[in-house]
Amino acid sequence: MSRVRIATRGSDLALTQSRHIASRIEAELGFEAELVVLRTTGDRIQDRSLAKIGGKGLFVKEIEEALLDGRADIAVHSAKDVPAGIAEGCVLAAYPERVDPRDALCGRERGVFLDDLPMGARVGTGSTRRMALLLRHRPDLELVPLRGNVPTRLDKIHGDDLAAVVLACAGLDRLGLSNRIDERIAPETMLPAVGQGLLALETRADDPWRSRIAALESPETGMVARAERAFQARLGGDCSVPLAGFAEPTAEGGLHLRGLVSSLDGRRVAEGEGSGPAAAAESVGAAVAETVLGKGGDEILRELAQAGEATDG
C-alpha cells in the first residue's frame, strides 16, 4: 500500500483532526497514512497575542515549509487558522467536512448563558472577533485575553477567576468535550469566523495528492468554504481584525453568506449579506465583502491598520 505523509501541529485538537483525516484516506482512498508532527511558531509563543506577533500565519508557516520541501504530502488545518494568503506553490485542495461553526460559552457556573452573566463579569477569549462581538452584545463585560490549547483555556476559568470562556464549539466537540458547553451562541449574536468548524487540506499545487483528496470533499462543504474564503480574501483581514463570515447552504442548492467587520470595541460594525448559486460561491463572497466595505468597512479597516502601525512603531 502506498503511503501519504500528513503534516500537522501537535496539539490535542490538531492530532485528533489529522488522525480522523488519516483514517478517511486509508478507508476511502486506499493509502496508508503517516503523521508528520510539527511545532509551529504560534505553538511556541504562548505569552503574547497573535495579533502582535504575526497573526494566524504563525500556525501554518512551518507546515507549509514541510509541504514545499517534500517532508509531507498533505497538511490538515483548522480552516479558521489559515490566513487569507497562503504560501506560493501551495493550494487549499479540499474541505472535507464542517462541524458546528458556532461559538461556545463555557461557564464556571454550569448551565449559564451569555445573557445570564452578571454585570461586569470576567470572560476569557482568544480572538479579536469574539472580543468585539461580545462587547457589541454585552459592553459591560470585562474581557481577558487567552492563549493556549483548548484544555488550557478551560482550566483558566478557575485559574484566572473567570465567569466563563468563549471557545469554538467545533474544537470542544472534536475533543469529546461537548459536555463543557453551556451555550452554543447563535450566529445572530456572534457571527462565526471565516472557516470556523471547517477542516482545510493543503497540498503542493503540482502534487498528485491535490486531485486525489478532492474525493474527500462534499460539494456543499466546498461551496460554503470557498465563499467564506473569497469574502476574507477581498477584505484582507488577519487575526488583528474583528472579521466574521459565515455561509450556509440554501434549500435551492445555493448558498447565503453573512459577513461583517467591526471596530475592536464592537461599537461600529459594517455588515452585509448575499445569496447565489453554488457555481458562483466565490463571486457571492466577493460581493458581500464589497457591501461591507461600502457600509463603512473600508474606514474601519483603515483605522485598524493605522492603529496597528502605531503600535508596531
Positions annotated as catalytic residues are 81
Between helix 281-292 and helix 219-235 the angle, nearest 10°, is 30
In this structure, what are the phi and psi dihedrals at residue 232, rounded to the nearest 5 degrees?
A: -65, -45
Cα separation, 266 vs 176, in Å, equals 32
Continuous H helices in the chain: 12-24, 41-44, 50-53, 61-68, 128-137, 150-159, 169-174, 209-212, 219-235, 281-292, 298-312
Identify the residue whose cell numbers are 486525489: 212
3-state secondary structure of 252: coil
80 class by beta-carbon count within 10 Å (0-12 exposed, 13-18 middle, 19+ buried): buried
DSSP run (H or E) holding 45 = none
Cα separation, 71 vs 230, in Å, equals 29
Q: Read off the C-alpha cell for 173.
A: 466537540
DSSP run (H or E) holding 156 = helix 150-159
